[in-house]
Amino acid sequence: MANGTDNYLILELKSGYLRLRIQFRHMTTSEYVINNGVKISDNVWHQVSFSRNKHFGILTVDNVNSAHDRRSGLSGVDEITIDDMIYVGGFPRTNDTVDTISSSRNFSGCLRDLVFNGITVLQNLFGQFPYGVSAGVNQGCVTTAPYIASHLQSQSSRLIINISPSGLFDYLFDFWFRTTDSGRSRELVYIQATYSAVISLTSGIATMLQVGTTDTHVFQPRLNDGSWHQFRMISSSTSFRVYIDNDFGSVAFERTLTTQQSPQITIGSQNAQGFIGCIRDLKVNGISRSVLDTSFARNNIIYNSCSIQNFCQPFFPCYNNATCVSNPGSFACICGSNSNYEGTYCQLYKYRRNCQEIFTFNPSATTGVYTIDPDGPLGSIAPFRTRCSDTQQTVTEIAHDRETLTVLPSSRQSVGPGRYSYNLIYKEGTGQQFGNVSIKQAAALADISESCSQNIVYRCQKSVLLNTPNTPYGWWVSRNNMKMVSWGGAPADSRKCACGVTGSCANRTKMCNCDGNFGNTVLTDSGSLNDKRYLPVKQVRFGFESLNSSRIGIYSVGKLICRGNAAPNHIITFTTRASRIELPDWQNSFKGVIDIAFKSTVANGTLLKNVGRTGDFFELSVQSSAVQMQYNLGQGIDNATLTVNSAANTRYNDDQWHRVRLFFSPSRVSLRVDSLPEVFRTFQQSHQVARLDIDGPLFVGYNPQRPSNGFIGCIGSLYISESLQHLDSFAAAFQGVKNGCGKACFFLPCQHNTPCTGNYSSFRCDCTNTDWTGERCEAPKGAHFSGNNVIEYKASNILPRLPNGREDISFTFVTNSSNCRIFHVQTRSGQQMEFGLVNGEGYVSVGNMRVTLRGILSDTKLHKVIISPTDDTISIDGVTSLVRSNVGLSVLNLPIVVLGSSNNDNSVSMCINDISFVGIRIMNLAFSIPRNNSVTFIRNSQGRDPISGVCTSSISYWTGTPTPSIRSLSPTRILATLPSVGAQANVTPGGIVGIIIFLLIVLGIIIALYVRKSKQDAGKYTTEEAKAAEHQATVEFKAIGPEVDTINGKKELYV
């Protein structure tokens, strides 16, 4: 033992095995315990080592590593400071601090080669500072005979001892014993004296009887746990007392044991079957005695041997509060008569969720009554009995008390809508011999079933039923108290019967046969209720319109019949090989069973993977024709494999749900898939030596050692034992994982209702013949123009106005070209309108009148333009301006619309999208497959057509036509961008200088002509009215909001 401030480390023997206890510094939770299952108390040398890495440790005995106990909440708590004392072999009982952390006895045996952090502790031990040596520690290894264990190996084994009193009638006798025997009436000690006494064991419980009396005493607890227990007897002249394990369970008899001088004590068989086990440390009147003492009589005792082993220690193998009983060579888990668990380890819940599971897990089961529990052991619904039928399709049936025809009472209590009511009473089994089934229990069955149905019948004469569309006189009530105005064979709440759905009612104007039955004929409305969301039927309601002896109403409701298993729940979809879910604390729920459901179209992938820190692991993977589990549970250096091949003509990647169950135990591992036979493997191994090391997270859909083999598809209904894992609650934390189950298109990646195709990992949006483009069809379809290429639309007919009577034209553009024509339209009557940029500023022209708009639009940003010839307005980026024209512009008369211009410079780069010309989506026509005949493409000087793409607020080179591509479900959005100015012009620096000089000369000439013209016009007009009359201006431009700045004497209006 080593201890320090607020922490300690103790290595101790417990039930014949080593365990290590660690208390980390400042740790508020319980101590950290590591067990090792190699049997120690066998009187031979054992090599022991311990190593620690933060809060993970390995205890090794004879090269066998411990199974680990990783406590949650220890992350970062890894400090141990040994600043007090190190005790070897025990510690002084005067140490109050030590007493509070350990009640174990001091070690009895031999130690050697003790090394602590590289320091050989026992070297030169005696007489050397700073060691302190207590009494009872000797050099060398000498084990005295009384302490050596002996084995009573059969029911006839015995050791007979004659005792002489230490004083007048005073006797003292004690020894240690251990056993795992669960037999009945095994004599442990028989005291032959005047008043004899016998102490016997039955299933490990000790009972003392004084022979010839009724004086008995029962000791608690069980003593057949494989641990060492102390027996002590003290006798005096007036009484005798028996102790087992110190003062616990002591009993005193107020009479002397004997009047003889030498009573005889027998350990083992005296008159009946004897104790089977080991004894040691035998003392008579306080003096140690050897089993080989010549004064003792012996029969069938093996000296220096103790093969008794507690197979319930140190790793308790039983689950769900079961009792573990250690037997010779094995153990047994006693589940208990009131337990709901069964199996070798009491790890399996007794009851299946429905009949489908009963026949799946027990192929030999036959039609009969079984107990089921639809919501499992952790749910609130109690198990109940029901009838299971294994016909062509397994069904679960719940009976009730209204399956036969019942006549409505002909009384005033039945007059009026729904005046008669009856609550159905559902029954267990066949409906007679057992108790009732609640509506909640029946509803829970419906919830976990693939489908459920109940037949319902109403026979009538002059008695209406649903009475659609008027007030209904009959209906049924769902499990959640909803009034269901529909009948069998019709959709829920449709106000129809089956004949109303098919149009075959006796009166074709009615929705039910009974609603038109006013004669003396008995008619019937019947059919199956199939919407399991509302089943079972909780109540029926009927009523007569009036009291009449000729009115008849007869009804019945069939059994609740459920089939199959519902689709898995808490489902997630893995969309990439690297997608995963990580469950860090799954060990808290693990009791040896894992259930999982999956579906996919991909041929292979990892479903589950866990790796322990000592080489233990298991991996569940799926291939197209096999489900496989590889594992090593400490069975040796060779990994094991279980494989379940798919049934004939089927595949596991068939996009159907498949269910898998894994079972782990110390000696058996099994794998079951769907209803196929279970495959399993057994192996001989003491579970004390090694157990499944499940430290570390459980990876779902992913193998960290082979990341490229991740699962793609859907996983759901993951149960760790009976604990359902809510995988969907983890999805948001992991990339590539989606809630729900579906292929990529299930998650609606394609916008604007465009078609989607794909698989679980990728999708393709088909933007063909739509107004949209982009990998998700998320952006308006645009055209990239470079230089002088053109898209031309020619109307073949006079266009109609929009439904609102307008002739609106709208489009969006982006460019970094300061001078370009963007849009032009000309009608058959010769009317023209144009929009473009000059010096980066926008203009609109109608006829020969041009209006320039303030603001730079060649800023590589998207700009929205709306032109309305109807009310003479233009809007740019939401700012609307009024344009008044006296030419009565209309664009409906066989217009020719030109996007781009053959007069644009080769350096022009722009993109136009979202164009609507009086409701005509020109881009859709331009890039439809095949291309619409009304659209013509004109190539630029380099022989290139305009290219379809997404217009963005970023200008760069556009190098080619995009091809359709498959995108991952979570792609990084890459939007096509525009070419930059001069992108396609291969101009040398000298050429650029020459062009600039030429432009300056031309500009100088224009300015000189302008100045000359201005001088000639000076003083010619003195009023605005006279100027307007001279020019007869055809356009008046007025901004709505800002003040208009009109330049006198010019046809160009600059705002």
Per-residue model confidence (pLDDT) at position 501: 95
Compute φ and ψ for 639, nearest 5 degrees.
Answer: -75, 155
Q: Does pLDDT of 156 surpass 80?
A: yes
C-beta of residue 1 within 8 angstroms of C-beta of residue 91: yes
Q: Does pLDDT of 725 surpass 60?
A: yes
Distance CA 418, CA 378 (A): 39
Q: Does pLDDT of 979 surpass 80?
A: no
Q: Does pLDDT of 992 surpass 50?
A: yes
Distance CA 570, CA 700 (A): 13
Q: Mean pLDDT: which of 158-162, 335-339, 405-409, 611-615 is highest?
A: 405-409
Which residue did the predictor score with more confidence, 236 or 35? 236
Q: What is the CATH number of domain 572-742?
A: 2.60.120.200
Which residue did the predictor score with more confidence, 328 or 331? 331
The token duo for 670 is 């099994």
Cβ partners under 8 Å of residue 789, min gap 6: 900, 937, 938, 939, 940, 944, 945, 946
C-beta of residue 569 within 8 angstroms of C-beta of residue 450: no
| 178 confidence band (pLDDT: 50, 70, 90) | confident
Q: What is the 3-state secondary structure (H, E, C) of 498-549?
A: HHHHHCCCCCCCCCCCHHHCCCCCCEEEEEEECCCCCCCCCEEEECECCCCC
Write the CA distances from 41 to 230, 445, 687, integer angstroms: 16, 54, 17
Closest C-alpha among 332, 308, 336, 331 to residue 321 = 336
C-beta of residue 635 within 8 angstroms of C-beta of residue 683: yes
Q: Does pLDDT of 1051 surpass 50?
A: no
Per-residue model confidence (pLDDT) at position 39: 63
Which residue did the predictor score with more confidence, 364 or 495? 495
Mean pLDDT of 44-63: 74
Which residue did the predictor score with more confidence, 67 or 269? 269
Q: Does pLDDT of 648 surpass 90?
A: no
* Cα atoms in the Cβ-side hemisphere of radius 13 Å centred on 721: 20
544 burial via Cβ count (<10 Å: 0-12, 13-18, 19+): buried
Which CATH entry fits the domain spanning 2-120: 2.60.120.200, 3.40.50.1100, 2.70.170.10, 2.30.30.100?
2.60.120.200
Q: Does pLDDT of 488 surpass 50?
A: yes
The 64-65 sheet, strands edge to edge = 48-53, 56-61, 64-65
The token duo for 723 is 């604990």
C-beta of residue 716 within 8 angstroms of C-beta of residue 571: yes
C-beta of residue 926 within 8 angstroms of C-beta of residue 782: no
Which residue did the predictor score with more confidence, 116 or 425? 425
Instruction: List alpha helices for 286-405, DSSP H.
Output: 355-361
Mean pLDDT of 583-604: 89
Rounding to the nearest 10 degrees, give the CA dihedral for residues 804, 809, 814, 820. Answer: -170
Per-residue model confidence (pLDDT) at position 154: 85
CATH architecture of 774-968: Sandwich (2.60)
Cβ atoms within 10 A of the Cβ of 1021, count?
A: 16
| 84 confidence band (pLDDT: 50, 70, 90) | low
User: 167-171, 288-292, 514-518: lowest mean pLDDT where?
Assistant: 167-171
Per-residue model confidence (pLDDT) at position 28: 57
* Cα atoms in the Cβ-side hemisphere of radius 13 Å centred on 475: 23
* Cα atoms in the Cβ-side hemisphere of radius 13 Å centred on 3: 16
Average pLDDT, the chain: 79
733-788 pLDDT per residue, tens = 888 898 888 887 877 888 888 888 888 878 888 888 888 888 888 888 889 999 99
849-856 and 1053-1054 as β-strands: parallel, antiparallel, unpaired?
parallel
* Cα atoms in the Cβ-side hemisphere of radius 13 Å centred on 946: 33
Reading phi first (left if > 0) and then psi (alpha if -120 to 50, else beta), residue 43 is in left
C-beta of residue 240 within 8 angstroms of C-beta of residue 194: no
Per-residue model confidence (pLDDT) at position 469: 92
Q: Mean pLDDT: which of 186-190, 223-227, 1025-1029 is highest?
A: 186-190
Top-level class of domain 145-303: mainly beta
Q: Does pLDDT of 294 surpass 60?
A: yes
Q: Does pLDDT of 100 surpass 90?
A: no
Per-residue model confidence (pLDDT) at position 978: 32
- Residues spanned by CATH 2.60.120.200 within the chain? 2-120, 145-303, 572-742, 774-968
Cβ partners under 8 Å of residue 274, min gap 6: 152, 154, 155, 156, 157, 158, 186, 187, 268
pTM over 0.75: no
C-beta of residue 898 within 8 angstroms of C-beta of residue 834: no
Per-residue model confidence (pLDDT) at position 1033: 32
Name the E strands within 614-712: 617-622, 626-632, 640-645, 658-664, 668-673, 679-682, 698-700
User: 238-247, 329-338, 686-695, 970-979: lowest mean pLDDT where?
Assistant: 970-979
Q: Does pLDDT of 446 surpass 90?
A: yes
Rounding to the nearest 10 degrees, give the CA dihedral for residues 508, 512, 517, 520. Answer: 120
The token duo for 1052 is 């160009």
Mean pLDDT of 429-445: 82
Q: Does pLDDT of 794 surpass 70?
A: yes
Percent of the chain with pLDDT over 70: 76
| 632 confidence band (pLDDT: 50, 70, 90) | confident
Distance CA 1053, CA 1035 (A): 9
Cβ atoms within 10 A of the Cβ of 32, count?
A: 22
Q: Does pLDDT of 822 surpass 80?
A: yes
- Helix (H) and strand (E) counts for the chain? 7, 79
Cβ partners under 8 Å of residue 786, min gap 6: 908, 909, 940, 942, 944, 946, 958, 979, 983, 984
Element (H or E) spanning 1015, and its range?
helix 989-1017
Q: Does pLDDT of 190 surpass 60?
A: yes
Q: Does pLDDT of 455 surpass 80?
A: yes
Q: Does pLDDT of 823 surpass 70?
A: yes
Which residue did the predictor score with more confidence, 1026 or 466? 466
Mean pLDDT of 589-602: 90
Distance CA 68, CA 58 (A): 7
The token duo for 751 is 């916008």
Mean pLDDT of 1022-1041: 32
Sign of CA dihedral 71, 73, 75, 78: negative
| 826 confidence band (pLDDT: 50, 70, 90) | very high
Which CATH entry fits the domain spanning 384-563: 2.60.40.1180, 3.40.50.2300, 1.10.260.40, 2.60.120.1000?
2.60.120.1000
862-901 pLDDT per residue, tens = 999 999 888 888 899 988 887 766 567 888 899 999 999 9
Per-residue model confidence (pLDDT) at position 956: 41
User: 11-25, 162-176, 541-555: lowest mean pLDDT where?
Assistant: 11-25
User: 500-509, 637-646, 828-837: lowest mean pLDDT where?
Assistant: 637-646
Per-residue model confidence (pLDDT) at position 442: 95
DSSP assignments along 955-992, one per residue: B----S------EESSPPP----BPPTTSS----HHHH
| 269 confidence band (pLDDT: 50, 70, 90) | confident
- Residues spanned by CATH 2.60.120.1000 within the chain? 384-563
Per-residue model confidence (pLDDT) at position 134: 60
